[in-house]
Structure 1
Amino acid sequence: MFGWFKRYDVHLSPEVKGRILKDGEPIADVEVYRELMHAKNYMEKTVTDSEGRFSFPEKTIRSREPGKLLGVEHITQSITADHGQTTYLLWRTTTTSTTPEKVIVEKLNHMECDLSDPEKLHHFTMAEHPNFTHNIRGICRWPDS
């Protein structure tokens, strides 16, 4: 049978756990959005708790795209937060992997996002391919960034 009829598991995002701060203090009731794009868009929303914490579950889909001759070859992950009249970019990256990647799993599981920090482009070495980096843009920080 031809590959374009087969469905494949496509891992769009690992579980996300983070915290929103402003000048080091947690902020409650901030709307946080996760948009995942692979052939179509998947949008989710949550709100921070009294400690500024938010989370999203892991997201995997079944798709025919990986088997198509000219199918979609990348996944874009974007996480934003709305506070006041401003939208903050917490995380944005694009990957071609349809399976979990170690650095992305680690970083999305421990997000510290201070709204007073400027956006930064992070370059994290890929565990699976040490000669390459994941390029992640956003205001979040990690101890090693």
Structure 2
Amino acid sequence: MLGMLKKYTIELCPEVNGKLTYNNLPFHNKTVTRSLTYNDDEIVEKCVTSLDGTFTFPAKSIKSRLPGNVLHETVIRQIIFTEFQDQELLIWFANQREIYTPEIFIQLMSNLEGELTNDEQVYEFENIEFSASPFRASSICLLK
């Protein structure tokens, strides 16, 4: 019962640092959008790429009592995209199933470098805690 009264810190997204290029030239003065969804609540933030194509978003966390409910399943959706040739181009998409950000996401999102001519790829990364459930991300960035 006491667990339902406690407020937990939900790490929606780590700090994001990225750089966008188009034909290897900086994709500057363009809007980048980050959409974070947790329990049907969405937070949308926007920034504009600098002259060298870089962009950044601060880490984002919220407080919630939901993780104290044994019936609650944590799912955080992270989407980062930009408009390109009248389409939404996916820079990053992942679902996070913990209230804390996996270390691999922190590492990857600290240096997202995307060439807009790249095809979107789906990546799988080892989940040390639950090896049967790897982390997945979709991106135009070359994730290593």
TM-score (norm 1): 0.90
What is aligned with 2:67? 66
Structure-2 separation of matches of 1:72 and 1:54: 32
Superposition deviation, residue 100 in structure 1: 2.5
| 1:17 alignment counterpart | 17
Amino acid at match of 1:78: I
Alignment RMSD? 1.6
Q: What amino acid maps onto 1:134 in structure 2?
A: F
The equivalences for 1:17-96 within 5 A come to 17-39=17-39, 40-96=41-97
Deviation at 1:107, TM superposition (A): 0.3
Corresponding residue for residue 117 of structure 1 = 118
1:127 and 1:25 mapped to 2: Cα distance? 37
CA offset digits 1:11-36 (Å, max 9, x no partner): 11100000011111111111101111
Using the alignment, how far apart are the partners of 1:70 and 1:89 within structure 2? Answer: 32
Identity of aligned residues (%): 28
Deviation at 1:86, TM superposition (A): 2.0
Tell me what 2:140 maps to.
139
CA distance in structure 2 between the aligned counterparts of 1:46 and 1:128, rounded to whole angstroms: 34
Q: Which moved more, 1:64-73 or 1:32-41?
A: 64-73
Helix, strand or coil at the partner of 2:119: coil
TM-score (norm 2): 0.91
